[in-house]
Structure 1
Amino acid sequence: MSSALLQDSLPPPPSTLGPRFRPYASPNHQVTKGRYITSNDPRGYIPVYEYPLNGQWIMMDIDDGYILWTGIWKALGNSKADIVKMIDSQPDLAPLIRRVRGGYLKIQGTWMPYEVALRLARRVAWPIRDDLIPLFGQVAHLL
């Protein structure tokens, strides 16, 4: 079974900016670096770029580009129960996501690869598209 979420074609992120996963400049958001200790990750911590949005933390794992989808989902005003339903309705997502439970509250939730988070954002995040520019660059305007 193939998920429609995984079939969209995406342009690759610009490679001229250095490392693949780093925030894009945004005049409206102050992105900072953080490092949160967790036993849920083999590194023992998660290094992130982060910024607040609508009372939630928007985060990107510096090392692998995973996005804290829970932050985006809740910034849209959706409930935690809704994210579980959405993820469960897309069985192809299961092997791609990480769920962080326990530890520091800020990093708890559902993390997914950059490309998957961008595809989902294109489908559901129109109201906050301009606020996602630090994660996805100007392509966020195309959401």
Structure 2
Amino acid sequence: MLLSEIMDRPVMDTDAAQSIGKVEGLVITARPPRIAALRLKKTNGGGTLLTWQDVHAIGPDAIMARANAREGTTEDIAERAAACRSLPGRRILSERGTEIGLLQDIDFDPESGKVLGLLTSSGTLPGQGLLGIGSYAVVVQEA
């Protein structure tokens, strides 16, 4: 599944069956490359981060999450969220500093949250090559 496919998709509370927000982006960890949280916009109370373990299912029309899931997000996730703001369009650099292209989309497994690939302006890079994400660039292993 691609990030672009879930952007603006409603996130529903499984207990109250009401919207708690819409997907604005992903918070990703590099080691291992996986989704740590969903960034939400237009939230109805609570925070703007939904940890991945609180995501119950990703359906074609909505994402289902546990009630009160946004409470108590950790400082570590909040720190990562700052670096992961606006990932599409970010530069991709090799570990040696060579510019590879621009990040266009992120392919991930909707069950596990594992990052499968980074779609770039110059092709697709394997997710397991992700080394780090900073405010300036995404760093990957050189092929």
Report the structure, 1 or 2, having the larger strand content: 2
Radius of gyration: which is bigger?
A: 2
Return the structure number with greater relative CO, CA threshold 8 A, min gap 6. Answer: 1
